[in-house]
Structure 1
């Protein structure tokens, strides 16, 4: 067997790629106007070394995002706290306590890493045979993780040691749905269109149900109902989270695919679709209420806050629309397709495939009514 090159050997070191930084000169204001900041004003933006393909994670004054590696950025001014070039692929990182968890990469295999939230240095690493493009899920001392293999894996969050694994999907190419947890049940949607419910502590199967379509998106769990998009088609389905029984199925008047996780507010479900539209459905019946059209596929999962729905489009804009009727309130243009946003303390954090992480004013100025 030929020897591996020195460069390849060096790339396996778990500490390689860590860059501890002072506040970044790339953090810059790119506001939409002057004077008192209003909704849609860009507070700052920072280049994260490569295009952003997933949602950031915000906690304790830090936003973690996957660009070229994993980046930890100060929410106040966009200064970079640290980066780790060995962690991060395309999936979102997640944080719990003083640890950040992310998928990683190395020659010929993928990795799962636990990083110190203070400086980004690895605490433990597990080598995997497949890459992951999804966000790890951490709860009750356990980390639940999926990648392109057939298994849902659960490890000890503190040590990375295996607790259990379950074979739940075929080994075929395609997108992977991240696991979801609610009310003591762990859910995973397989690439063949089967939704599984597990006991999160033991991996015991509670139920499984086949939905319409394949390559489903990550489910949304809300108030005892599981909502999931088709993945390769325009179906949206609601299931009883305890039993898997169908509550309703809606076929959108569309030729696009629903590849995103829905959002919900009140009795309205919001769903992004590759037909360039964001759809609003009755969450109880699945009936279509309205839709709003953008100039590109909506591969961004929406988020709802204070009566406004925020979502990205491949047309390069972050959109803000009325949660009641879909009326456009404002939109901000970036240099590439916009990924899924998150909202924290009145600020939107969102990545774009132009390589920037943006912090955008979400809340109206005091006393200023929304349109």
Structure 2
């Protein structure tokens, strides 16, 4: 008889909890913007950081808590943090598990990163959890799930998408309605407390990115194509749809300021649209696909590009004000107290002054 080989046992090590490691920040990169500090977070950054109460939380290799003032590392947790952004509420930080704990949702003490509770998931979760009114909403495979944020107890779940390839969209909440976009191209609106479906709407395209909610309108891009659409947030009725003059796709969340919508595209361009009609106003071209959600502050649009730069452009006309080069594709920035916090695939978290280059005149 042939020799039988023993079955390989899966690694089921328990949660390791906190792992403290403070890297020595290397010298700042030279750019046209002002870099306050940068810190290496152990591995590539794939998503936006989360900033609150003087701390920036970012997913690198594990989850990192960094002081916003000087970039010093407060704590790290090797078991938390995957590809999606973390989120925080009160004294708790929430994130999907890392490495062998990909099928885990973790709640950590914001002071020291130690686990408060964890919940096993059947599939991985790659998106940012959403916390509001004591409820934690997150996407896990085919389901939108809601648990008690304090203890992790399940409250409800809704199967809203099939297991298919595409971008996984994070939930969004506004005016008492919870929204989720599935990979088949349908926007769902739920009651956040009960999971009851309010409405659902099939949009143009498939695999939509996480939508933007603003002033009663839901804006969403086609994750596999060049369409941008606006829906009535209360009813799901179409307000407008625009096809960009492009063969690229819109894989990130738009930003809005005044009556202008800013949309990043895989065609290397950031587009500005009329938020009321969808008419194209202008675009600016970078040297790489834009896999970053833009952010607008004080008349400037900030966004990252796969060309390795963080870009700052005029919100009025797209004129480039400055850009800072990193060592890899730049992810979605966050602005807090006049400072931009942004991660790069080079493994660094950057803190950059969120102001126009003083050497250039403003338009």
- Unpaired segments ≥5 residues, structure 2: 1-5
> What residue number does 1:237 align with?
229
User: Is the contact made by 2:262 and 2:294 (CA closer than 8 Å) also made in structure 1?
Assistant: yes
The Cα offsets for residues 2-54 of structure 1, whole Å up to 9 and x where unpaired, read as 4636xx233xx22x152235xx3523551647xxxxx8211100000000000
| 1:27 maps onto 2:30 in alignment | no
| Structure 1 SS opposite 2:231 | strand
User: Is the contact made by 1:212 and 1:230 (CA closer than 8 Å) also made in structure 2?
Assistant: yes
Cα–Cα, structure 1 residues 97 and 295, in superposed 2: closer, same or farther, change >3 Å?
same
| 1:98 maps onto 2:91 in alignment | yes
> What residue number does 1:36 align with?
none
**Deviation, structure 1 residue 132:** 1.2
Aligned residue among 128, 145, 160 for 2:138: 145
> What residue number does 2:3 align with?
none
> What residue number does 2:12 align with?
9
Aligned residue among 180, 183, 186 for 1:188: 180
Aligned residue among 102, 108, 118 for 2:111: 118
> What residue number does 1:18 align with?
18
**Deviation, structure 1 residue 349:** 0.3
Match runs of 1:1-371 below 5 Å: 2=7, 4=9, 8-10=11-13, 13-14=14-15, 16=16, 18-21=18-21, 24-28=22-26, 30=28, 32=30, 40-105=33-98, 107=100, 110-147=103-140, 149-363=141-355, 370=362
Report the TM-score, using the length of structure 2 for normalisation: 0.95
User: Is the contact made by 1:68 and 1:88 (CA closer than 8 Å) also made in structure 2?
Assistant: yes
**Deviation, structure 1 residue 102:** 0.2
User: Is the contact made by 1:220 and 1:263 (CA closer than 8 Å) also made in structure 2?
Assistant: yes
The Cα offsets for residues 93-116 of structure 1, whole Å up to 9 and x where unpaired, read as 000000000011354851100000
User: Is the contact made by 2:187 and 2:203 (CA closer than 8 Å) also made in structure 1?
Assistant: yes
User: Is the contact made by 2:79 and 2:101 (CA closer than 8 Å) also made in structure 1?
Assistant: no
User: Is the contact made by 1:274 and 1:298 (CA closer than 8 Å) also made in structure 2?
Assistant: yes
Cα–Cα, structure 1 residues 259 and 308, in superposed 2: closer, same or farther, change >3 Å?
same
User: Is the contact made by 1:66 and 1:88 (CA closer than 8 Å) also made in structure 2?
Assistant: yes
Deviates more, 1:98-107 or 1:64-73: 98-107
Alignment partners' CA distance in 1, 2:27 and 2:98: 32
- Unpaired segments ≥5 residues, structure 1: 34-38
| Structure 2 SS opposite 1:19 | coil
| Structure 1 SS opposite 2:12 | helix
| Structure 2 SS opposite 1:9 | coil
Deviates more, 1:357-366 or 1:165-174: 357-366
The Cα offsets for residues 319-366 of structure 1, whole Å up to 9 and x where unpaired, read as 000000000000000000000000001100000000000000113599
The Cα offsets for residues 49-79 of structure 1, whole Å up to 9 and x where unpaired, read as 0000000000000000000000000000100
Report the TM-score, using the length of structure 1 for normalisation: 0.93
